[in-house]
């Protein structure tokens, strides 16, 4: 897929936008981006584990939606439009007990009214932990 983002991605700006949100609370940090993808890491620790000591599926979904929604909003003029989650699914492939997982969102479809993003979450060895697909709706921006 050719370049989909409106301008070069600033990792610092993405991380700044995440301050004082669920993203920051879970320790999600944007780390890299390309022409049609963005990556972030998330620790597997007390904030993101379920009671049985493994990565909570909901935390994986938060990472996936964070990546896909952030990527989608890099494709639009956010003074006019924003991308919001319409549907997300996730398949949890492998249990993860510790360390850090890395998610990467890649564009599948970037249209005028919808986007589809594929998100892969991998462990530190590059083994698949979760795969997710996110559909975004492109809606008019409403400012307070």
Kindly state the tokens that stand for 129. Answer: 């932990």
The catalytic position among 35, 65, 87, 122 is 65
DSSP 3-state of 128: strand
Does the annotation count 65 as an active-site position?
Answer: yes
CB burial class (10 A; 0-12, 13-18, 19+) of residue 31?
A: middle
Give the whole-angstrom CA distance, residue 93 versus residue 102.
Answer: 14
For residue 43, which phi and psi values (nearest 5 degrees)?
A: -75, 150
DSSP 3-state of 46: coil
Torsion of CA 31, 37, 43, 48, to 10 degrees: 140
Active site (catalytic) residues: 65
């Amino acid at each position: 897929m050719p370049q989909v983002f409106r301008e070069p991605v600033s990792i610092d700006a993405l991380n700044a936008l995440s301050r004082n949100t669920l993203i920051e609370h879970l320790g999600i940090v944007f780390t890299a981006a390309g022409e049609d993808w963005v990556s972030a890491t998330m620790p597997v620790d007390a904030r993101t584990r379920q009671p049985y000591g493994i990565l909570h599926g909901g935390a994986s979904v938060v990472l996936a939606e964070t990546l896909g929604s952030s990527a989608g909003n890099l494709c639009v003029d956010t003074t006019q439009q924003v991308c919001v989650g319409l549907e997300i699914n996730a398949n949890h492939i492998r249990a993860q007990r510790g360390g850090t997982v890395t998610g990467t969102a890649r564009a599948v479809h970037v249209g005028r009214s919808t986007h589809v993003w594929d998100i892969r979450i991998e462990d530190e060895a590059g083994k698949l932990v979760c795969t997710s697909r996110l559909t975004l709706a492109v809606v008019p921006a409403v400012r307070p």
